[in-house]
Amino acid sequence: MKTTRLIIFLAAAQTALLSAQPSLTIYNQNFAVVRDQVPLDLKTGENVVPYTGVTAQLEPDSVVLRDPSGKTPFRILDQSYRADTLSVGYMLQLNEGKTIDFLVRDKDNKEYPMQGKIIRSGYNPGGNSEYGFNPRPGSDTPIIEVGGQLRFSLPGEPIFPKLADDSVLKPTLTWRLAADAPVKLNAELSYLTNGLSWKAAYNLIAPEKGDSLDLTGWVTFENNSGKEFKDATVKLMAGNVNKVQDNQNYPMARNALMADAAAGAPPVTEKAFDEFHLYSLTRPVSLHDRETKQVEFIRAANVKAATLYIYDGAALNNFRGWDPITIRNNADYGTQSNKKVWVMREFKNSKENGLGIALPAGRVRFYRRDDSDNSVQFVGENNLDHTPEGETVRLYTGDAFDLVGERTRTEYQSDNRNKQATEAFEIKVRNHKTEPVEIRVVEHLYRWTNWEITDKSDDFTKTDAQTVEFRVTLKPDEEKTITYRVRYDWK
């Protein structure tokens, strides 16, 4: 799979034509590709060109500055990037070891100056407090000496000396460019940046009765890049994209994708792209710095989604990591019973079912409409994995209140000499609802890979190499009992 950083960057950089507005391809791993225009007015020889329209989390070695037409010859002699813009914390750091004035207000709100020596600024560019301090107590808190005593906080509002000429107010890229002749052009700037991310979320609303539901999908953008994007063209990349982490703590995650619906053209279009899916928002999006924004990307009504009741009665959580031989030889394995009957919703991601677009991973929230007053009540949630078109989605939403299961082992014999074991179970399921239901009783044949059910009360379906499923329909207030005997053979 083509997943090196260079291939990711170049592939995404080619997905949009250069325009007056910025263009973004956002990955669900807290990074994005930014494409923008930089107006250049170069004279013959060397030119110093500062540009302040970049993010505060730009990856400097990912920057590409070029003439998109390929006709204008200029050379980049060197490039510098400064992201430590002026802030209280940064100014404290610049003045460590110096004595400055602090403006203090007394209880009557009168102001007076107080001198203090900055022993330690406590400045942390990654901090999220007002001054850029790390929110954790300890070595990153400021230390100010006032009257021979140390304070682990600022005594008042700091008053700093005059700024140096090289101070920056915004993150800045500065190039030294060489041109053979005077030229004006709009250069194309592309780079990777951290601090931009998105995720999917789905709301599913079902009527009080019936197996249909209405589905709405949202994409949530988060912009913590240090830059505002005005009317940006946005694409979203979904799939498990590999991105190398380095020592500067660029986060890595696994991701997802989207689509959108509104009057006229669909708000999101989707296509396969390499080993991933690329979604394009058809309307520009403005993202302020430190803003969270939602955009609806899919809406479907009357999606057929069956409600399944599943009783998986063996409580096996305490036996995780056990090897097959230990399981086979331990007589108590699988004898603990779980009484809960799971509630699942299942639907097919197809055009015939009102969907039919690759669904990115995200949280799914289920609601049920109360017909008595038409209100909507929350009834459960789960996480959806990336789901291609044509696949079936099955999600656990909670446990049934009025359905009960009970599982008891009634027989166990182990014959190591003949390398055989026999085990029998009795499973009871009860329906306390006012309507009939079907319960799928799942049994795991975990003792060994070679097994045979030698006696049974009901028919079953083999769902995989070591799992069977009994389906029973119960009337209101009815109890049914399922029994079976299984023989394992490890000759």
Question: Beta strands of 195-254 (E only): which ranges?
Answer: 196-206, 212-223, 229-238
Measured CA to CA, the distance from residue 217 to residue 202 in angstroms comes to 4
In this structure, the dihedral spanned by the alpha carbons of residues 72, 75, 78 and 83, taken in order and rounded to 10 degrees, is 10
In a domain, 199, yes or no: no
Query: DSSP 3-state assignment of 92?
Result: helix
pLDDT for the residue numbered 442:
96
Closest CA to 115 of 134, 90, 98: 98
Same domain for 314 and 173: no
Measured CA to CA, the distance from residue 306 to residue 198 in angstroms comes to 30
Same domain for 438 and 352: yes
Q: Which residues are bridge partners to 479 per DSSP? A: 430
Contact 227, 171 (CB under 8 A): yes
Measured CA to CA, the distance from residue 197 to residue 215 in angstroms comes to 23
Same domain for 418 and 314: yes
Specify the number of domains making up the chain: 3
State the pLDDT confidence band at 255, using cuts at 50, 70 and 90: very low
Other C-beta atoms closer than 10 Å to the C-beta of 383 total: 10
Determine which helix (DSSP H) or strand (DSSP E) holds 132, and give its type and residue range: none
Measured CA to CA, the distance from residue 468 to residue 444 in angstroms comes to 7
Same domain for 434 and 336: yes
Q: Which residues are bridge partners to 343 per DSSP? A: 309, 398
Measured CA to CA, the distance from residue 33 to residue 12 in angstroms comes to 7
Q: Residue 490 carries which side chain, given as an amino acid letter?
A: W
Same domain for 148 and 58: no
In a domain, 24, yes or no: no
Question: Which letter does DSSP use for residue 469 in this model?
Answer: E
Determine which helix (DSSP H) or strand (DSSP E) holds 12, and give its type and residue range: helix 5-13
pLDDT tens-digit readout, 305-345: 999 999 999 987 766 677 888 888 888 888 888 999 999 99
pLDDT at 127 over 70: no
Q: Which residues are bridge partners to 35 per DSSP? A: 23, 190
Contact 235, 281 (CB under 8 A): yes
Same domain for 393 and 365: yes
Handedness of CA 262, 265, 268, 269 (dihedral sign): positive
What stretches of 136-217 show up as alpha helix (H) in DSSP? none
Other C-beta atoms closer than 10 Å to the C-beta of 101 total: 16
Query: DSSP 3-state assignment of 227?
Result: coil
The token pair that represents 139 in the structure block: 């070595």
In a domain, 112, yes or no: yes
Residue bearing the bigger pLDDT, 90 or 312: 312
> Lowest mean pLDDT: which of 116-125, 159-168, 171-180?
159-168
In a domain, 136, yes or no: yes
In a domain, 270, yes or no: no
Query: DSSP 3-state assignment of 95?
Result: coil
Residues in the chain: 491
Same domain for 78 and 98: no
| pLDDT mean over 336-356 | 93
Measured CA to CA, the distance from residue 277 to residue 271 in angstroms comes to 6
pLDDT tens-digit readout, 400-434: 999 999 999 999 999 888 899 999 999 999 999 99
pLDDT for the residue numbered 162:
78
| pLDDT mean over 179-185 | 92
The token pair that represents 252 in the structure block: 């890595």
Query: DSSP 3-state assignment of 9?
Result: helix
Measured CA to CA, the distance from residue 10 to residue 97 in angstroms comes to 46
Highest mean pLDDT (candidates 71-75, 412-416, 450-454): 450-454
Q: Residue 33 carries which side chain, given as an amino acid letter?
A: V
pLDDT for the residue numbered 276:
60
Same domain for 386 and 311: yes
Distances (CA, A) of 100 to 106, 120, 122, 142, 155: 19, 13, 16, 14, 11
In a domain, 176, yes or no: yes
Q: What is the pTM of this model?
A: 0.69
Highest mean pLDDT (candidates 126-140, 163-177, 279-293): 279-293
In a domain, 78, yes or no: yes
Domain end position, chosen among 107, 133, 159: 159
Domain end position, chosen among 159, 182, 206: 159
Domain end position, chosen among 136, 159, 182: 159
Same domain for 124 and 38: no
- What is the rounded end-to-end Cα distance, in angstroms, of the chain? 43
In a domain, 436, yes or no: yes
pLDDT for the residue numbered 286:
92
Q: Residue 98 carries which side chain, given as an amino acid letter?
A: K
pLDDT at 171 over 90: no
pLDDT at 476 over 50: yes
pLDDT for the residue numbered 161:
85
Same domain for 109 and 77: no
pLDDT for the residue numbered 5:
40
Determine which helix (DSSP H) or strand (DSSP E) holds 79, and give its type and residue range: strand 74-82
Query: DSSP 3-state assignment of 260?
Result: coil
Q: Which residues are bridge partners to 482 per DSSP? A: 427
Measured CA to CA, the distance from residue 380 to residue 342 in angstroms comes to 12
The token pair that represents 125 in the structure block: 């560019």
> What is the rounded average pLDDT for all residues in the chain?
84
Same domain for 103 and 127: yes
Range of the domain at 64: 31-84+168-194
Same domain for 438 and 335: yes
pLDDT at 246 over 60: no
Measured CA to CA, the distance from residue 331 to residue 421 in angstroms comes to 10
